[in-house]
Chain A
Amino acid sequence: MSTVATVPEGTVNPYALSHLDSLESEAVHIFREVAGEFERPVILFSGGKDSIVMLHLALKAFAPAPVPFTLLHVDTGHNFPEVLEYRDRTVKNHGLRLHVASVQEYIDAGKLRERPDGTRNPLQTVPLTEAIQQHRFDAVFGGGRRDEEKARAKERVFSLRDEFSQWDPRRQRPELWQLYNGRHAPGEHVRVFPISNWTELDVWQYIEREGIELPEIYFAHEREVFDRNGMWLTAGHWGGPKEHESTETRLVRYRTVGDMSCTGAVDSDATTLDAVITEIAASRLTERGATRADDKMSEAAMEDRKREGYF
């Protein structure tokens, strides 16, 4: 569990913080800055490990008071049932309020059209930005990390978005010291990334240290999957497999949690946190390279989606 006030062994300076304590302290500072300066903040919460860590940090930041933010989930309609179950249980346990923006509702209403490849991740942008406008959220916490992707490496901790939620990398404010500038015009909002400086391994080590519960799909389990473009996708009502694709049962786990149509599983026998951490440390593939189809669409896929308002 927490080692906040203890001095790490073997360090020369008794006041040096461990890297996890430094990252935790910085993230908590960011949460409190937003609570102090914004009217209507919201945490994007998908039930994935990064948003779970964010919620854990927010709980610690304001303890013993409740988290002063609501949650927002953009539900693609193709989410893993285990993750939705985890999401709802977590919200209930902490007495939080959850808003859901549904891609399926947008498709049913004719406001969005299903893509030929069945991928719904890019379709999240419109429900997300409309939910932000509708609820007049002025600060939106995202679990994005700069180590995930080269366009994200250029992202500020406080990222100003215009009334269309667009990201303009050339209009970014220089970010100096820990002085975050959250000023924005009415209609604009700020995306806030408290775990910008964390890596995938930091997230897992923190989950282990803090004893944070995760949805079980993060650990190795038998699952019916099929191969599409070199990734193991879960068979299901969302539209897979197609006629020429055949399913098989494999021992797999997920490194990221997203839309079932574009999030691949990896072969793994890691059933514990220790085993997962060892596996990630040895992996020669990045998290998104291994398991995300939507980033492979083009060299600038993430940048283009971010420009449109994706988080």
Chain B
Amino acid sequence: MTTTTTTEQFADVSATTLLRFATAGSVDDGKSTLVGRLLHDSKSILTDQLEAVEQASLKRGQEAPDLALLTDGLRAEREQGITIDVAYRYFATTRRRFILADTPGHVQYTRNMVTGASTAELAVVLVDARNGVVEQTRRHAAVAALLRVPHVVLAVNKMDLVDYAEPVFASIAEEFTAYAASLGVPEITAIPISALAGDNVVEPSAHMDWYGGPTVLEHLETVPVSHDLTACHARFPVQYVIRPQSAEHPDYRGYAGQIAAGVFRVGEPVSVLPSGRTTTITGIDALGESVDIAWAPQSVTLRLADDIDISRGDLIAPAEDSPAVTRDVEATVCHVADQPLSVGQRVLLKHTTRTVKAIVKDIPSRLTLDDLSQHPAPGQLVANDIGRVVVRTAEPLALDAYADSRRTGSFLLIDPADGTTLSAGMAGASFAAVAEAVAPAADDDAAWDF
């Protein structure tokens, strides 16, 4: 196993992949200790940063360096000893680069975890071995399931405080796996650890020879970073039209964007939405290089056979596999703003590269994450609420279900008055494994089943 990084190995590596992951854990689960150990053992905490922490700790009258000062970057966070907001941290091993969304575990957990999980391919959910699966754990599992994070790691921490006993781990792992699987989390890996003592975080534990699986780092290094994209519906939101109109390129017209999902090939027939016109890809320019094939999440420029009217906000998709176009959006949203979201409210909806006017027609239900029960017709959603909404847009959208594409199934609701991001939206059903009845009208709240 590769756990430490030597200079020579580190500098040699050129083809490593990138994994984005998020941590979730409440204040006392040992999240900072786990993050600190991953950063420290991967050489990501350097001498001057440690010295700064030591000095700052001394000034506060603390004898040992307080590692939380490494991650609490804001004056207010250090003064109050709390973490205010998501921070992104970077570390690397010889095998892979990591971007960690470090999400604070205080009361505003939902919007913070949703923010961190939105770009994560893996979530680490921490549990205290002494307490087992608690309400907060179920909340974290539910958010990971809702955001369709492809991989979930259950890190059963503080194993040193339960005598490294296998039955303790086994029963927590079993309970969590059953719960997460019932929500449709596709892959769950449970690892018994002690972040403080260093068991199974970076180095295999000497105390748990009954455990034969990977350490946390080993798992992070080897988990697949993307699914088989050939199986995904190909989607290309047009960001920008490139037209040099220069002597050298008098007729060049390219549609620039980042492939949201799937694969595009030269020669492929495509549809342009929402107009529905069809044409063929004649060329793909991958940042200055002409290629025959490109896939998500590459930023490329497509050239098409016909000069049809295409602009920012349009979506290019294979002719035989285009999403339906709709003005009625049914979705689950996490409300992230301090001002509420109410029925009847006029908002802007940002979907891929398209922003349209919209109105909140209905808020059929609000979800209680603790037990996944639903509260019918709440009237409005406030900060950190998760609920079902029905939104009517002024213009048609080529919207996928979030279950099919995190990128073309997600959207923001924005306050048109001051630009505030109000809600994070996921189109379609909420949880993969829970049967969901879609109500044709909002008069029957019970039909909205989480």
Contacts and interface: CB of A to CB of B under 8 A. Distances in A.
Given A15-B226, A174-B424, A285-B47, A65 B11 contact: no
Interface string B28-51: 000000000000000000111100
Contacts of A154: 73-74, 84-85, 87
Interface string B98-139: 010000000000011011001100000000000000000000
Interface of chain B, main secondary structure: mixed
B243 interface: yes
Contacts of B244: 64-66
Contact of A65 (B225, B243, B297): B243
A135 interface: no
Contacts of B46: 283-286, 289
Nearest to B348: A183
A29 interface: yes
B366 interface: no
Contacts of A209: 14
B15 A18 contact: yes
A284 B14 contact: no
Interface in A157-189: 160, 169-170, 172-179, 181, 183-185
B287 A303 contact: no
B128 to A, nearest CB: 27
A25 B258 contact: yes
B411 interface: yes
B115 A175 contact: yes
Interface in B207-256: 224-226, 228-230, 239-240, 242-244, 246, 248-249, 252, 256
Contacts, number: 235
A289 B48 contact: yes
Interface string A186-207: 0000000000110101100100
A199 B90 contact: yes
B394 interface: no
Nearest to A209: B14
A138 interface: no
Contact of A64 (B14, B99, B239, B249): B249
A178 B352 CA distance: 8
Interface residues of B, number: 88
Contact of B88 (A21, A36, A185, A196): A196
B242 A150 contact: no
A9 B230 CA distance: 19
Nearest to B49: A286
17 contacts: A2-B289, A9-B15, A13-B228, A15-B226, A15-B295, A19-B97, A28-B287, A29-B239, A62-B242, A63-B242, A63-B287, A177-B406, A179-B352, A181-B350, A284-B46, A284-B47, A289-B52
Interface of B: 7-8, 10-11, 14-18, 46-49, 52, 56, 70-76, 78, 84-90, 92, 96-97, 99, 111-112, 114-115, 118-119, 224-226, 228-230, 239-240, 242-244, 246, 248-249, 252, 256-258, 263, 285-289, 291, 293-295, 297-299, 312, 336, 348, 350, 352-353, 406-407, 410-412, 414, 418-421, 424
Interface of A: 2, 4-5, 8-13, 15-26, 28-29, 32-33, 35-36, 60-66, 146-147, 149-154, 160, 169-170, 172-179, 181, 183-185, 196-197, 199, 201-202, 205, 209, 274, 277-278, 281-286, 289-290, 299-300, 303-304
